[in-house]
Amino acid sequence: MANHKSSVKRAKQEKKRRMTNKTKTAASRTAVKALRAAVSKGDVAEARTLLVKAQSLLAKLAKSPAMKKQTASRKTSRLTKLVASINK
């Protein structure tokens, strides 16, 4: 446990940041899972709308320290390819 006033504050800040990162990460994972489910069904229209939502959540996550920019970019790219593959 923190003993100094500054370390108590730091512990509170880290807890708040950890929860925010966890919430954002969970939301993006859920969106990606829903997108993959729509692709497996073959529903093109729903997949496109879910792709936009997933891209948005991944971009927001990349702005924060919760995910690196390159990781979000890679995931977005792979999801876009996946949605494009069902159009063929």
Measured CA distances, 88 to 4, 21, 85 (Å)? 62, 36, 6
Identify the pLDDT of residue 71. 96
The H-or-E segment that residue 62 falls in is helix 44-63
What's the domain range around 15?
A: 5-87
- The rounded distance, in Å, linking the Cα atoms of 12 and 87 is 48
Task: Please tell me the pTM assigned to this model.
Answer: 0.85
CATH of residue 64's domain is 1.20.58.110
> Between 69-87 and 5-41, two packed helices, what is the crossing angle to 10 degrees?
10
For the chain, 88 residues long, give each residue's pLDDT as a single digit of tens. 778 999 999 999 999 999 999 999 999 999 999 999 999 999 999 999 999 999 999 999 999 999 999 999 999 999 999 999 997 6
Query: Distance (Å, rounded) from C-alpha 3 to C-alpha 14?
Result: 16
pLDDT, residue 87, reads 74
Q: Work out how many domains the chain is built from and give that number.
A: 1
